[in-house]
Amino acid sequence: MCRIQVKFSEIDSMRRVWHGSYVTYFEDGRESFGRRYPGIGYADMQRAGIYAPIYDLHVRYYAPLEMNDVAIVHTRYIYKPGARLDFSYRILRESDQVLCTEGDTVQLFISPDGALMTDLPDYYRRWQEQYLGTGRGL
């Protein structure tokens, strides 16, 4: 979970958070997740020379956030077999716990030479063994 205070630069002409800013909030959630469950963060990927760009993104909007609201981003890892990272997100407005946005992303691993990977990177396999065990979810 991470907290984000809405900034002026994130709002649109209707004084609501611009729809594209929620994608950044999802990324903030992934970074926070990587700090909570070490071994799967962006720094870990960079050390391994492997990257995981977004392949698929879905966002559903339910209620607006406005300037100075605090967004609570809940990020959940979803186990799927293969060389991929799947996350789901729920963004709540802190003041009243209203669900504002939900979404999910799929990231695919890219090797140091830019090729799509089909095998799990070693660091990711170790992370799965450490945190998932047989449960397959976080």
Q: Kindly report the CA angle at 63 between 59 and 67, in degrees rounded to 5?
A: 100
Q: Which of 92, 84, 94, 75 is nearest to 26 (CA)?
A: 75
Contacts of 132 (CB under 8 A, 6+ apart): 79, 138
Bridge-partner residues for 98, per DSSP?
A: 93
pLDDT tens profile 35-82: 999 888 888 888 889 999 999 999 999 999 999 999 999 999 999 999
Instruction: Report the distance separating Cα 86 and Cα 78, nearest Å.
Output: 5
Residue bearing the bigger pLDDT, 21 or 123:
21
The pair of structure tokens assigned to 78 is 């979803």
Residue 94 clears pLDDT 60, i.e. is over it:
yes
pLDDT, tens digit, for every residue of 19-32?
999 999 999 999 99
Architecture of domain 2-131: Roll (3.10)
In 3D, which of 103, 116, 113 has the Cα closest to residue 53? 116
